[in-house]
Amino acid sequence: MGLDLYKLPITPFLHTAHTWSQVAAYFDAIGKWGVTLFVEIGVDKGGLAAFMWARQTFHPEFNYLGVELHTHVVDPRLNACVLYGDAFSDHIIDVVRSAVNKSSGPCLLLCDNGNKPRELATYAPIIRSGDIVAVHDYGVEIHQKDLGPVLSWEFVGYLEADLPMWKKP
């Protein structure tokens, strides 16, 4: 085999709040929609970030950007792809907007911080037509009543993985 996985500079596994099916759903969506930027708002230890970061090794057109409030929670080996700060600050919103605008293909933006309704309301307006927004913990931390910003968008999510996503028209 040509690939020596032992040479990857980060070893599995870091904790992620996602299930295996949900990780698989993101990879399916990335392939299906030709996603070139994955933005994760709320990184925590970095388990999902590590998968996305590793993908860049084999897909140079693909980029990952994480946003996390607390520097000490994320595995420091992921520092290069994580932006530290409050996802609701003007600075972080501007940096994310700029990364989205620079992305050559669709962006998939995941709302997974501590206030998902506010996050959806903040970030749905800044992604572009053809970009996708996903929310984690639907039915627990974010509910139907909070979906105003995406209600008219096409649903492209993964019900079997409990992972809703919407594509911006």
Ligand X SMILES: C[S@@+](CC[C@H](N)C(=O)[O-])C[C@H]1O[C@@H](n2cnc3c(N)ncnc32)[C@H](O)[C@@H]1O
- Contacting positions for ligand X (CB under 6 A): 16-18, 40, 42-44, 47-48, 67-70, 73, 86-88, 112-114
Q: Return the number of the residue (44 or 131) whose C-beta is nearest ligand X.
A: 44
Least distance (Å) between residue 3 CB and ligand X: 25
Q: Return the number of the residue (40 or 131) whose C-beta is nearest ligand X.
A: 40
Least distance (Å) between residue 10 CB and ligand X: 15
Q: Does residue 149 contact residue 10 with C-beta atoms inside 8 Å?
A: no
Single-letter code of the amino acid located at 29: A
Residue nearest to ligand X (CB): 42
> 123: closest CA among 113, 133, 115?
133
Q: Does residue 82 contact residue 49 with C-beta atoms inside 8 Å?
A: yes
Residue owning tokens 């409990």:
162
* Structure tokens that stand for 109 in this block: 């933006």
Q: How many CB atoms lie within 10 A of CB 114?
A: 11
Least distance (Å) between residue 73 CB and ligand X: 5
Least distance (Å) between residue 125 CB and ligand X: 17
